[in-house]
């Protein structure tokens, strides 16, 4: 069990081991495949968007692709910057995201299909399962004191937790299914920018869809899913999720940044580092970041509204350790060039 208050902040790298693209890969796939993706929808439906003929949608899509390609920006930041100028590309860009995530979801993989050196979901499952050995002990799963804050649009984490719990403890017709769903629906998973859709087992007053189904490439479904996607400064709809995420961070004793790129716009959304509220341990994967880049991140945190000072700094080729102090807070920060599983093994949750 993970009994100490723990928050996981997930970026695209956390979903990559399961077949989902990183931000750079998503950008590349959109540029390469969106025109084909869109045409497959336009050919099957004459009314993709109400009050706009399909040839006009196609022209907007071509214009979007040219400008997006030449911007050299990730898709979410590109849409955010354009939303401040006009909404010309917002629905087109969100459609591009939805279709690529649906494609990745359809081909996603888990368990033995995943590289064992990168499969952090399996380690998370082991830790959260603890000593549970029977369905009668399922209530103990609630003792896990975890919150997930994800900047990803995919539903792989929710699907994985549902799948392993469902198939480990219950038979197909087990009447305890309702109890299991109660437990799953109580696990806080906050999608800061939304997710492509709700899963069919998730409770609430919403339309939902099955994970990984190839049957959702229809205009009526795609246009519904577009509305589930938020962009960086879509504050009105994101406000509730962001507030919940910030409260979880404030109350956490440990915070793990997994597969997170530390982009300024994403840190600002959560008010990091100012949201850190007391003495906390902070760990982060920084695969691909240099020693100087990690140090620049730490320095930037010290220059926030609530000034921290750096003490006990140890900066090596693959790890940066330090204390960030602003009385009465003392943050123990460790940034390491490694993947998600390696970080959890090096700085265990137990």
**Domain tally, the chain:** 2
Residue 172 reports pLDDT greater than 60:
no
Same domain, 13 and 30: no
Domain limits for position 38? 23-107
Q: Is residue 213 part of a domain?
A: no
For strands 198-199 and 280-285, give the pairing.
Answer: unpaired
**Between 277 and 127, whose confidence is greater?**
127
Residue 235 reports pLDDT greater than 60:
no
Instruction: Write the CA distances from 333 to 190, 269, 342, integer angstroms.
Output: 23, 20, 16
Give the model confidence (pLDDT) of 332-343 as tens digits.
999 999 999 999
Same domain, 63 and 188: no
Same domain, 315 and 185: yes
Same domain, 95 and 124: no
CA 317/CA 320 separation, integer angstroms: 8
Residue 122 in 3-state DSSP? Answer: helix
For strands 189-191 and 208-209, give the pairing.
Answer: unpaired
Give the model confidence (pLDDT) of 14-65 as tens digits.
999 999 999 999 999 999 999 998 888 877 666 666 667 777 888 889 999 9
CA 142/CA 140 separation, integer angstroms: 5
Q: Which residues contact 70 (CB under 8 A, 6 or more apart)?
A: none
Q: What is the pLDDT of residue 171?
A: 66
Q: What is the mean pLDDT of residues 325-330?
A: 84
Q: Which two tokens stand for residue 335?
A: 């940034």
Q: What is the pLDDT of residue 259?
A: 97
Give the model confidence (pLDDT) of 57-98 as tens digits.
888 899 999 999 999 999 998 998 887 656 778 889 999 999
Q: Is residue 288 part of a domain?
A: yes
Same domain, 151 and 261: yes
Q: What is the mean pLDDT of residues 112-122?
A: 97
Same domain, 148 and 91: no
Q: Which residues contact 290 (CB under 8 A, 6 or more apart)?
A: none
Q: What is the mean pLDDT of residues 99-128?
A: 96
349 pLDDT tier (thresholds 50, 70, 90): confident
Same domain, 313 and 337: yes
């Amino acid at each position: 069990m993970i009994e100490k208050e723990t928050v996981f902040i997930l970026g695209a790298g956390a979903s990559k081991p399961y077949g989902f693209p990183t931000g750079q890969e998503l950008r590349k796939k959109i540029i390469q495949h969106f025109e084909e993706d869109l045409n497959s929808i336009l050919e099957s439906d004459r009314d993709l968007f109400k009050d706009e003929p399909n040839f006009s949608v196609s022209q907007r899509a071509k214009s979007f692709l040219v400008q997006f390609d030449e911007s050299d920006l990730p898709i979410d930041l590109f849409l955010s910057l354009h939303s401040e100028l006009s909404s010309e590309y917002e629905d087109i860009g969100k459609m591009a995201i939805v279709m690529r995530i649906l494609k990745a979801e359809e081909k996603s993989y888990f368990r033995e299909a995943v590289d064992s050196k990168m499969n952090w979901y399996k380690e998370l499952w082991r830790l959260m399962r603890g000593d549970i050995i029977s369905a009668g002990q399922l209530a103990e799963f609630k003792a896990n004191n975890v919150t997930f804050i994800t900047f990803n649009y995919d539903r792989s984490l929710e699907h994985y937790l549902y799948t392993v719990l469902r198939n480990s403890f219950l038979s197909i017709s087990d009447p305890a299914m309702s109890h299991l769903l109660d437990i799953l629906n109580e696990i806080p998973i906050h999608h800061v920018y939304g997710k492509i859709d709700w899963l069919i087992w998730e409770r609430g007053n919403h339309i939902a869809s099955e994970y990984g189904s190839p049957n959702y490439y229809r205009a009526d479904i795609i246009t519904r899913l577009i509305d589930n996607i938020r962009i960086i400064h879509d504050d009105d709809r994101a406000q509730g999720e962001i507030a919940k995420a910030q409260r979880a961070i404030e109350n956490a004793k440990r915070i793990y940044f997994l597969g997170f790129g530390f982009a300024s716009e994403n840190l600002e959304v959560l008010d990091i580092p100012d949201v850190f509220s007391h003495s906390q341990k902070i760990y982060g994967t920084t695969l691909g970041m240099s020693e100087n880049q990690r140090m620049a991140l730490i320095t930037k945190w010290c220059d926030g509204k609530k000034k921290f000072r750096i003490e006990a700094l140890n900066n090596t080729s693959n790890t940066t350790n330090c204390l960030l102090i602003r009385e009465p807070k003392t943050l123990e920060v460790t940034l390491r060039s490694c993947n998600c599983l390696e970080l959890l093994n090096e700085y265990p949750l137990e």
